[in-house]
């Protein structure tokens, strides 16, 4: 059985997020694992495309970079130099 984690999200916040098209619990889970909010939102947009087979190779690589700590560091350094 999976462990239940309390991310401190109220029902109202969750429903407001869903109305805006964002799964707040998934966002909090990704942030808790060390992924910054902007990259977590980007990853959340890529994942459904990966699942349904419509993601481009570039999106798949970007998603993998976001998920790995060393890849995230590389992306953050690239963003600082842009």
8-65 pLDDT, tens per residue? Answer: 999 999 999 999 999 999 999 999 999 999 999 999 999 999 999 999 999 999 999 9
Work out the average pLDDT over 62-74. 92
Q: Is the pLDDT of residue 81 over 70?
A: no
DSSP for 42-82 reads HHHHHHHHHHHT---HHHHHHHHHHHSHHHHHHHHHHHHH-
Number of domains in the chain: 1
Is 3 part of any domain?
Answer: no
Which pLDDT score is estimated for 80?
A: 66
User: 3-state class of 44 per DSSP?
Assistant: helix
pTM of the predicted model as reported, rounded to 2 decimal places: 0.82
In a domain, 6, yes or no: no
So what's the pLDDT on residue 17?
94
- The answer to whether residue 75 sits within a structural domain is yes
């Amino acid at each position: 059985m999976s462990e239940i984690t309390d991310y401190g999200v109220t029902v109202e916040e969750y429903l407001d997020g869903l109305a805006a098209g964002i799964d707040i619990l998934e966002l909090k889970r990704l942030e808790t694992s060390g992924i910054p909010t902007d990259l977590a939102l980007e990853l959340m947009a890529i994942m459904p495309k990966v699942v349904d087979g419509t993601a481009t190779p570039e999106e798949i690589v970007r998603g993998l970079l976001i998920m790995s700590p060393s890849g995230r560091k590389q992306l953050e350094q690239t963003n600082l130099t842009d």
